[in-house]
């Protein structure tokens, strides 16, 4: 009896010893399997958001554009993934070059020098790189909603490739790299937990610029332009919500307390946003629409994205509610102004992102503020942080807006970005892909 | 009264509709149909070119009083033609006599119900 127990303990010790030594990286850092497992899961969850976005956007356009719109998201998975491995990761997370405009590290070129790297957080660097790469994919794909149904496929491909290099990578470097200037601004840096400025504000503002530059779709707003399939739009919104747990909770780059905090804030904000959207809508227009619920989910999720790491559940709830109110008003205003941000990339991602990035300061958990005060060497107030947030938001808006405009202007000299009238009338599916999304459906 | 049935290309639907509205003909029924004609079109699926035997088309049905027959037909002819002088596959127009037309709401019959 006694003997067998000893045997058990011994086997366990041997097993433990081998499992620890087996997981040691070349430089001696031990892999934290828990954190790595969660980061792998998060990477997959964020990737799931891209088909989710394809479905969300795909359902909202007319049936002749459904494949073309889905392809806007899918082709980003191809183009940006390749670019990310070649130069994207290096530009985002390498050391400052060109006065900190973006980063560079020769080891990250083609990711060739990180084969055996394990980061301080205990996860292989490949995992971190792939996780971050998914953010780089979804950001340009979000822009596509602003100029849906009227963009040449070829021009779109060149646009997102250049946009990713010139807008996303520098912004990502400033906000998230350890030597980025926004990361180090103020006491504990500009707060952008999972991409309020980097992802949503930059995509929203760029979308607005692109929508204005390209002009409206043919017949907008007098011709009725109805969604072809709200069912896939709802499924897409659901996948986005699920994927957002990877997006936000994964952004803790760990598997612990801060992960749980971010996950909870995410769930609460999405739910509060969705509910408040349908309440506002039914007060204002008499019906609680499915698309309204989906829009509210997104507004809440976008607003909590920069805040998920620092706010408590009640704060996330308030952010979700305010974001829905402001996004709803922004879309009403858009309809009045008459510009054609077709699927409301700016109305949801731009406005929601700005709302979250600024208002999060009022809900920061006390422990964060006291840490900030300590590192500032005395006091650090909500208003101090608000100033930093406002500066980061302004920089993101101005930089993304200006570079996007310059990029569109230059690219338009080489490839006509807007579809010809014939191509637009025939639909993106037929004009650029030679396919059709549905079999026998009534035309819309 | 006549029933004008036009079979047109899918891609011309917007143009034809806009032209009809311009000509003040606003009561139309549109459906998606497919059929055989002289035309063969090529579609691409996973790199393989296939020639479907049933080509998707749009059917427009318009019930009109005699006075509107010519303007309706002319409008469709002008707006449904492609490549300037027209090309194979632009479609056809059928005109059939219409025995009766009844508005369901009021029970009105004949020309005023159209």
What is the Cα–Cα distance from A409 to A168, expressed in whole angstroms?
18
CATH of the domain at B89: 3.30.70.120
Alpha helices in B12-112 (DSSP H): 13-22, 69-80
**Domain-embedded: residue A30:** no
Q: How far is CA A271 from CA A5, A169, A192, A206, A264, in A?
A: 51, 31, 21, 27, 11
| pTM for this entry | 0.86
CATH of the domain at A368: 1.10.3430.10
**Domain-embedded: residue A26:** no
**Domain-embedded: residue A10:** no
| Residues spanned by the domain of B31 | 2-113
Mutate to test the interface with B, among A426, A436, A439 (most CBs of B within 10 A): A426
CA atoms within 13 Å, Cβ hemisphere of B87: 8
| Residues spanned by the domain of A308 | 39-433
pLDDT in tens, chain A (444 residues): 455 566 666 555 555 544 544 455 555 678 899 999 999 999 999 999 999 999 999 999 998 999 999 999 999 999 999 999 999 999 999 888 898 899 999 999 999 999 888 888 889 999 999 999 999 999 999 999 999 999 999 999 999 999 999 999 999 999 998 888 888 887 788 888 888 899 999 999 999 999 999 999 988 887 778 899 999 999 999 999 999 999 999 998 889 999 999 999 999 999 999 999 999 999 999 999 999 999 999 999 999 999 998 999 999 999 999 999 999 999 999 988 988 999 999 999 999 999 999 999 999 988 888 888 888 888 888 888 898 899 999 999 999 999 999 999 999 999 999 999 889 988 999 899 988 888 755 554
Query: How much is the average pLDDT of B15-38?
Result: 88
Q: Which of residues 21-80 of B touch A (CB under 8 A)?
A: 30-32, 34, 43-45, 56, 58
CB contact (8 A) between residue A436 and residue B32 = no
**Domain-embedded: residue A120:** yes
Q: In what order do the strands lie in the sheet with B29-35?
A: B29-35, B55-64, B2-8, B91-97
**Domain-embedded: residue A320:** yes
Q: How far is CA A53 from CA A50, A340, A400, in A?
A: 5, 19, 21
- Contact assessment for residue A140 and residue A164, using Cβ atoms and an 8 Å cutoff: yes
CB contact (8 A) between residue A426 and residue B11 = yes
**B46 pLDDT above the threshold of 90:** no
Q: Which residues neighbour A411 within 8 Å (Cβ) at sequence distance 6 or greater?
A: A155, A158, A159, A162, A417
Selecting from B15, B30, B43 the residue whose C-beta is nearest the C-beta of A443 gives B30
- Total domains in the fold of chain B: 1
């Amino acid at each position: 009896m006694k003997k067998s127990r000893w045997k058990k303990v011994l086997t366990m010790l041997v097993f433990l010893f081998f499992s620890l030594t087996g997981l040691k990286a070349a430089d001696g850092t031990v892999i934290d399997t828990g954190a790595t497992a969660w980061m792998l899961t998060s990477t997959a969850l964020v990737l799931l958001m891209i088909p989710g976005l394809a479905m969300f956007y795909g359902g909202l356009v007319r049936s002749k554009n459904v494949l073309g719109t889905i392809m806007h998201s899918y082709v980003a998975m191809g183009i940006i993934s390749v670019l990310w491995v070649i130069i994207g990761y290096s530009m985002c997370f390498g050391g400052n070059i060109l006065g900190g405009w973006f980063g560079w590290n020769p080891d990250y070129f083609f990711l060739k020098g990180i084969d055996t790297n394990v980061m301080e957080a205990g996860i292989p660097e490949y995992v971190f790189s792939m996780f971050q790469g998914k953010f780089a994919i979804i950001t340009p794909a979000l822009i596509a909603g602003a100029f849906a149904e009227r963009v040449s496929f070829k021009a779109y491909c060149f646009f997102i490739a250049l946009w990713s290099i010139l807008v996303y990578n520098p912004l990502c470097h400033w906000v998230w790299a350890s030597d980025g200037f926004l990361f180090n601004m103020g006491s504990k840096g500009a707060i952008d937990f999972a991409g309020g400025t980097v992802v949503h504000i930059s995509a929203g503002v760029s979308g607005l610029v692109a929508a204005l530059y390209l002009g409206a779709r043919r017949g907008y707003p007098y011709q009725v332009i109805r969604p072809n399939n709200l069912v896939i739009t709802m499924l897409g919104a659901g996948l986005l919500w699920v994927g957002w747990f990877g997006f936000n909770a994964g952004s803790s780059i760990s598997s612990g307390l801060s992960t749980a905090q971010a996950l909870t804030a995410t769930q609460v904000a999405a739910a509060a946003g969705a509910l408040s959207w349908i309440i506002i809508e039914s007060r204002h227009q008499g019906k609680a629409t499915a698309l309204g619920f989906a829009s509210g989910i997104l507004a809440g999720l976008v607003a909590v994205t920069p805040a998920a790491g620092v706010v408590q559940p009640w704060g996330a709830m308030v952010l979700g509610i305010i974001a829905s109110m402001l996004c709803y008003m922004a879309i009403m205003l858009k309809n009045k102004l008459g510009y054609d941000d077709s699927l409301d990339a700016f109305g949801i991602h731009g406005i929601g992102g700005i709302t979250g990035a600024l208002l999060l300061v009022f809900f920061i958990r006390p422990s964060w503020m006291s840490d900030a005060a300590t590192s500032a060497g005395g006091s650090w107030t909500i208003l101090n942080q608000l100033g930093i947030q406002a500066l980061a938001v302004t920089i993101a808006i101005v930089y993304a807006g200006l570079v996007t405009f310059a990029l569109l202007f230059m690219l338009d000299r080489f490839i006509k970005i807007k579809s010809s009238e014939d191509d637009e009338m025939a639909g993106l599916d037929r004009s650029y892909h030679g396919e059709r999304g549905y079999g026998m459906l009534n035309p819309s | 009264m006549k029933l004008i049935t036009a079979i047109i290309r899918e891609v011309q639907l917007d143009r034809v509709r806009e032209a009809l509205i311009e000509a003040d003909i606003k009561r139309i029924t549109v459906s998606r149909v497919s059929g055989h004609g002289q035309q063969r079109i090529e579609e691409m699926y996973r790199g393989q070119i296939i020639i479907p035997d049933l080509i998707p088309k749009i059917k427009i049905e318009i019930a009109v009083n005699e006075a509107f027959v010519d303007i309706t037909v002319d409008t469709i002819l002008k707006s449904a033609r492609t490549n300037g002088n027209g090309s194979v596959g632009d479609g056809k127009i059928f005109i059939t006599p219409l025995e009766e037309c009844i508005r369901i709401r009021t029970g009105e019959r004949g020309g005023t119900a159209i």
